């Protein structure tokens, strides 16, 4: 079994969809750990409900990003984590984790990258008036929402759609696309070993 750690900072609907996919046997992996940088994030509740350990840290208690990433790295090693899955983790991954998990950190972003990287991608796309947007899953590198693309799925933006409609459509896609894409990545990784 491949061991995963999910990093999240917010509501955690993607975290939940991954946990559900594991519980249903659609995603053949163990989610060993949730890494969270926000003590009030709802994702922590979700992890507790599923009995998944949480590593909660407060970035402001560390002098540097390298310092808290060293500690995260220790946790990942303790749990024998093979693959890091970002699901709404609102920080850039630094050199410490990138070096230790080269090509083994994956992110989901709610736009068709390279369009609309960064914060509030759905709002950016909506304001731009695009007729098509979507979801991207990609390997993480040092940039903001850059790195090789693994999968994308598009969604039509209808004339009558509000930003909330678009958000709902995108989330629906995310909750299917992330588990199925991760399962594919895991199959490729295990074939290589």
Return the active site residues. 109
Give the whole-angstrom CA distance, residue 18 versus residue 37.
19
Tell whether residue 145 is a contact of ligand GRF (CB under 6 A): no
Give the whole-angstrom CA distance, residue 56 versus residue 187.
30
- 32, 46, 109, 169: residue in contact with ligand GRF (rule CB under 6 A): 109
Which of 82/174 has CB closer to ligand GRF?
A: 174
Query: For residues 94, 91, 110 and 79, what is the CA-based torsion angle, rounded to 10 degrees?
Result: 70
Give the whole-angstrom CA distance, residue 26 versus residue 132.
29
CB of 71 to ligand GRF, least distance (A): 23
- Interface mask toward ligand GRF for 48-87; x: CB under 6 A: ---------------------------------------x
- 37, 69, 82, 174: residue in contact with ligand GRF (rule CB under 6 A): 174
List Cβ neighbours of 114 (8 Å cut-off, separation of 6 or more): 145, 146
| 56 CB-side CA count, 13 A | 14
Tell whether residue 179 is a contact of ligand GRF (CB under 6 A): no
Tell whether residue 18 is a contact of ligand GRF (CB under 6 A): no
Residues that bind ligand GRF (CB under 6 A): 8, 10-15, 87-88, 108-110, 174
């Amino acid at each position: 079994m491949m061991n995963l750690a999910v990093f999240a900072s917010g509501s955690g609907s993607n975290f939940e969809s991954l946990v559900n996919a594991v519980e249903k046997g659609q995603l053949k992996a163990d989610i060993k750990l949730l890494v969270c940088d926000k003590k009030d994030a709802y994702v922590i509740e979700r992890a507790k409900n599923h009995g998944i350990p949480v590593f909660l840290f407060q970035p402001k208690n560390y002098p540097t990003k390298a310092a808290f990433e060293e500690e995260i790295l220790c946790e990942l090693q303790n749990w024998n984590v093979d693959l890091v899955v970002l699901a709404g983790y609102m920080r850039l991954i630094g050199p410490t984790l990138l070096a230790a998990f080269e090509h083994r950190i994956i992110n989901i972003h709610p736009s068709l990258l390279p369009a609309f990287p960064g914060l509030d991608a759905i709002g950016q796309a909506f304001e731009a008036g695009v007729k098509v947007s979507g979801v991207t899953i990609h390997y993480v590198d040092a940039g903001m929402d850059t790195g090789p693309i693994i999968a994308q799925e598009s969604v039509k933006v209808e004339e009558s759609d509000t930003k909330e409609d678009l958000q709902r459509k995108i989330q629906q896609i995310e909750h299917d696309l992330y588990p199925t894409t991760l399962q594919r990545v895991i199959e490729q990784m295990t074939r290589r070993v």
